């Protein structure tokens, strides 16, 4: 009888099935662990169907017509209202503007304008921009865009922005009127990339002290900052005042790049961590640009997020001093998820922690309304107006320690090393309303138009500061105000401190027309209490005593 050997397939089949079974069991356990905190897909579909069914039912059966997009938006915002204050839903229309602001550019004609008495007045022209190439000048008025009349039509800023912006290299006809010469002309402007600068100003405050002010952290911020630092160092800068007041934050990478220029290599700048996000550390690079000079960072109650990361790292490593008032207290990390209709959700996924372990985020346990009203609470508690506000802050927070064993506190925001109280004598409702009013802005622009030949003789900001006749400026500006505003001005100017404040603001606003933001902040810096405190500390022994070196 003929015997045959078993085939190789029959021999290896049991082993193959065993291997497949074991692999399947291991894979199953791994999937179980990875999906432990995820909702079942059928639940997601069921709940999504439920929302769709309700909206469809309302659309088909409701007694009146409804806007279904508004229903969706309200539904999403209803869900988000149960989360933290910084998780937000961004509509498609809003998303483009938000991204533009952070990316640092858009396509337009390159002018800044103000609507004064229903007329679009050009307040600034970007150097070498599209409008500058066809000789558009400050003080000119936009009468038409294309075939559309825009003067005297109650047009809004949003609408005129939409008309002036467009695709790159597209052309837009604009009709301009020059009030001084009473000349009207037509120009065709080719739209181009318009930078949105995040660095407001950089200049020398003192022969050895430079000043940089950053308004947000965008994709171009570090490039702007690095260029400004190189220029200031070439002018003899040995110490720096970095102004982050009113800075709401932005890109983490921009903030960490700036901090990296102040710290030794590999030092921890910030770390993030969340329930579903592993700890991620951000460390300083290898080639700091400004390692040894004295450093003061200015913050206030509107300095948030990335601004607080900068201030927290500088403070925790005792690399510099913090001057001003406690920062906003926004230490939540948002990840942006774009949705199918062009909208997006910025969902909080982690928290920021400073090198010492402090969580920057303040409590939102009492709800969004209480969270938003925190400024009022700080004011009424005396924190904003008290010279030594840190005593109030420390009473209800947890202690942490800097590299030199100084005590710092958590509890939300970064507390300054030197407190500068809010100046209620100058920064009150009446004076602020007046100095930022349309009427005063219009009067200053009229002064510029009627004196532009003489004003253009000022070669730079320093010449302007030394030679401008502030008394003549005030008299002529105030005389051109409407009668109703003249009475307000007379009442405000009866107090010397308020009069000095108004005069300084007029001088600064005119300097902005002549020299842009550098002129504006150069003027204001001469009577800025926080800058004065920072200069005093940097120039004396207080600096070293604070950081304990």
Both 188 and 206 in a single domain?
Answer: no
The pLDDT of 309-335, averaged and rounded, is 96
Q: Is residue 126 domain-resident?
A: yes
pLDDT in tens, 305-319: 999 999 999 999 999
Element (H, E) at 102: helix 92-103
Could you say which of 399, 422, 445 is where a domain stops?
Answer: 422
Q: Is residue 297 domain-resident?
A: yes
Between these two residues, 527 and 52, which has the higher pLDDT value? Answer: 527
Give the active site residue among 330, 351, 507, 533. 330
pLDDT in tens, 20-51: 555 554 444 444 443 333 434 344 444 556 77
Closest CA to 205 of 536, 545, 499: 536
Both 412 and 500 in a single domain?
Answer: no
Both 261 and 342 in a single domain?
Answer: yes
Please, are residues 518 and 202 in contact by the beta-carbon 8 Å criterion? Answer: yes
Both 190 and 213 in a single domain?
Answer: no
Percent of the chain with pLDDT over 70: 89
Q: Is residue 27 domain-resident?
A: no
Residue 89 to residue 94: CA distance in whole angstroms = 10
DSSP string, 451-518: HHHHHTT--SHHHHHHH--HHHHHHHHHHTS-HHHHHHHHHHHTSHHHHHHHHHHHHHHHHHHHHHHH
DSSP character at residue 409: E
User: In this structure, what CATH number is given to the domain that contains residue 117?
Assistant: 2.30.42.10
Please, are residues 324 and 383 in contact by the beta-carbon 8 Å criterion? Answer: no
The pLDDT of 125-140, averaged and rounded, is 91
Extended beta strands in 225-320, E state: 239-243, 268-274, 277-283, 295-299
Residue 342 to residue 357: CA distance in whole angstroms = 37
207 pLDDT higher than 60:
yes
- The pLDDT of residue 339 is 82
Q: Is 316 a catalytic residue?
A: yes
Residue 174 to residue 166: CA distance in whole angstroms = 14
162 pLDDT higher than 60:
yes
C-alpha separations of 310 from 259, 270, 281 in Å: 6, 9, 14
The pLDDT of 347-369, averaged and rounded, is 92
Q: Is residue 95 domain-resident?
A: no
C-alpha separations of 385 from 92, 107, 480 in Å: 41, 43, 36
Q: Is residue 30 domain-resident?
A: no
Between these two residues, 427 and 183, which has the higher pLDDT value? Answer: 183
Could you say which of 406, 422, 438 is where a domain stops?
Answer: 422
Residue 427 to residue 94: CA distance in whole angstroms = 32
Sign of the CA dihedral 260, 263, 265, 271? negative
Closest CA to 244 of 333, 322, 355, 354: 322
Contacts of 199 (CB under 8 A, 6+ apart): 212, 213, 214, 215, 221, 224, 225, 228
Give the active site residue among 200, 300, 316, 417. 316
pLDDT in tens, 508-529: 999 999 999 999 999 999 999 9
Q: Which stretch of 22-36, 227-241, 391-405 has the lowest confidence by average pLDDT?
A: 22-36
- The pLDDT of residue 9 is 43
Give the active site residue among 202, 303, 305, 410. 305
Q: Which stretch of 21-30, 248-257, 500-509 has the lowest confidence by average pLDDT?
A: 21-30
Closest CA to 250 of 221, 279, 270: 221
Both 315 and 414 in a single domain?
Answer: yes
- The pLDDT of residue 73 is 83
449 pLDDT higher than 60:
yes
Q: Which residues of 384-422 are buried (b: 16+ CB within 10 A; e: fewer)?
A: beeeebbebbeeebeebebeeebebbbbbbbbbbbbbbb
Q: What is the largest CA-CA distance in the chain?
A: 128
Which three-class secondary structure state does DSSP give residue 115? strand
397 pLDDT higher than 80:
no
DSSP string, 117-183: TTEEEEEEE-TTSHHHHTT--TT-EEEEETTEE-TTS---HHHHHHHH--STT-EEEEEEEETTTTE
Query: Torsions phi, psi of 202, nearest 5?
Result: -150, 130
Q: Is residue 94 domain-resident?
A: no
346-351 long-range contacts, CB within 8 A, separation 24+: 346/86, 346/87, 346/88, 346/90, 347/83, 347/87, 348/83, 348/84, 348/86, 348/87, 348/274, 349/274, 349/276, 349/277, 350/272, 350/273, 350/274, 350/277, 350/280, 351/272, 351/273, 351/274
- The pLDDT of residue 310 is 98
Both 52 and 122 in a single domain?
Answer: no
Both 122 and 232 in a single domain?
Answer: no
Both 181 and 298 in a single domain?
Answer: no
Q: Is 105 a catalytic residue?
A: no
Q: What is the CA radius of gyration of the chain?
A: 29
Which three-class secondary structure state does DSSP give residue 66? coil
Q: Is 300 a catalytic residue?
A: no
- The pLDDT of residue 43 is 46
Total domains present in the chain: 4
364 pLDDT higher than 80:
yes
Both 230 and 374 in a single domain?
Answer: yes
Could you say which of 394, 422, 450 is where a domain stops?
Answer: 422
- The pLDDT of residue 396 is 54
Q: Is residue 97 domain-resident?
A: no
The pLDDT of 307-336, averaged and rounded, is 95
- The pLDDT of residue 29 is 44
pTM: 0.84
10 pLDDT higher than 70:
no
User: In this structure, what CATH number is given to the domain that contains residue 249?
Assistant: 3.90.226.10
227 pLDDT higher than 80:
yes
Sole residue written with tokens 């409702």: 429
How far the first Cα of the chain sits from its last, in Å, is 100
What range does the domain containing 55 cover? 45-82
Joined tokens for residue 333: 């990390």
Closest CA to 242 of 306, 177, 334: 306
pLDDT in tens, 164-204: 999 999 999 999 999 878 899 999 999 999 888 999 999 99
Q: Is residue 98 domain-resident?
A: no
Q: Work out the pLDDT band at 6, boundaries 50, 70, 90.
A: very low
Which three-class secondary structure state does DSSP give residue 370? helix
Both 251 and 287 in a single domain?
Answer: yes
Q: Which stretch of 27-41, 356-370, 382-396 has the lowest confidence by average pLDDT?
A: 27-41
Residue 202 pairs in a beta bridge with 212
Residue 358 to residue 407: CA distance in whole angstroms = 12
Both 132 and 73 in a single domain?
Answer: no
Residue 538 to residue 295: CA distance in whole angstroms = 7
Both 52 and 117 in a single domain?
Answer: no
Percent of the chain with pLDDT over 90: 52
111 pLDDT higher than 70:
yes
């Amino acid at each position: 009888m003929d015997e045959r050997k078993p085939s190789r397939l029959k021999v290896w089949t049991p082993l193959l099935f065993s291997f497949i079974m074991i692999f399947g069991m291991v894979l199953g356990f791994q999937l179980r662990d990875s999906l432990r905190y995820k909702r079942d897909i059928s639940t997601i579909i069921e709940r999504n169907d439920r929302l769709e069914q309700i909206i469809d039912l309302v659309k088909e059966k409701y007694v009146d017509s409804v806007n279904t997009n508004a229903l969706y938006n309200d539904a999403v915002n209803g869900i988000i209202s149960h989360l933290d204050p910084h998780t937000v839903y961004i509509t498609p229309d809003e998303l483009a503007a938000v991204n533009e602001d952070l990316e640092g550019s858009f396509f337009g004609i390159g002018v800044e304008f103000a609507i004064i008495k229903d007329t679009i007045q050009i307040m600034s022209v970007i150097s070498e921009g599209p409008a500058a190439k066809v000789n558009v000048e400050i003080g000119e008025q936009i009468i038409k865009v294309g075939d559309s009349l825009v003067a005297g039509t109650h047009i809004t800023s949003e609408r005129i922005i939409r008309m002036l912006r467009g695709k790159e290299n597209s052309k837009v006809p604009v009709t301009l009127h020059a009030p001084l010469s009473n000349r009207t002309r037509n120009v065709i402007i080719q739209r181009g990339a318009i930078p949105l600068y995040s660095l407001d100003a950089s200049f020398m405050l003192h022969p050895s002290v430079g000043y940089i002010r950053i308004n947000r952290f965008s994709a171009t911020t570090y490039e702007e900052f690095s260029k400004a630092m190189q220029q200031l160092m070439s002018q003899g800068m040995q110490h720096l005042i970095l102004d982050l007041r009113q800075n709401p934050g932005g890109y983490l990478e921009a903030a960490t790049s700036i901090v990296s220029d102040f710290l030794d290599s590999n030092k921890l700048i910030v770390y993030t961590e969340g329930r579903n996000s592993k700890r991620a550390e951000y460390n300083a690079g290898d080639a700091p640009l400004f390692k040894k000079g004295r450093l003061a960072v200015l913050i206030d109650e509107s300095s948030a997020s990335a601004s607080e990361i900068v201030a927290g790292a500088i403070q925790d490593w005792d690399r510099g001093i913090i001057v001003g008032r406690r920062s906003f207290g926004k230490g939540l990390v948002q990840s942006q998820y774009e949705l199918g209709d062009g909208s997006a959700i910025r969902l909080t996924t982690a928290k920021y922690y400073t090198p010492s372990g402090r969580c920057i985020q303040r409590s939102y346990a009492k709800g969004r309304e209480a969270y938003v009203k925190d400024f009022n609470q700080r004011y009424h508690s005396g924190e904003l107006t008290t010279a030594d506000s840190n005593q109030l802050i420390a009473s209800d927070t947890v202690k942490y320690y800097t590299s030199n064993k100084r005590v710092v506190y958590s509890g939300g925001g970064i507390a300054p090393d030197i407190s500068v109280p809010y100046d209620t004598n100058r920064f009150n409702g009446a004076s602020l309303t007046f100095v930022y009013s349309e009427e005063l802005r219009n009067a200053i622009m009229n002064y510029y138009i009627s004196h532009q030949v003489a004003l253009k003789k000022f070669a730079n900001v320093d010449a302007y500061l030394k030679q401008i006749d502030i008394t003549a400026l005030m008299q002529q500006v105030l005389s051109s105000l409407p009668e109703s505003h003249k009475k307000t001005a007379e009442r405000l100017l009866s107090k010397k401190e308020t009069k000095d404040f108004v005069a300084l603001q007029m001088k600064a606003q005119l300097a902005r027309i002549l020299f842009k933001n550098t002129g504006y902040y150069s003027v204001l810096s001469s009577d800025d209490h926080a800058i004065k405190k920072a200069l005093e500390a940097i120039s004396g022994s207080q600096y070293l005593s604070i950081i304990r070196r």
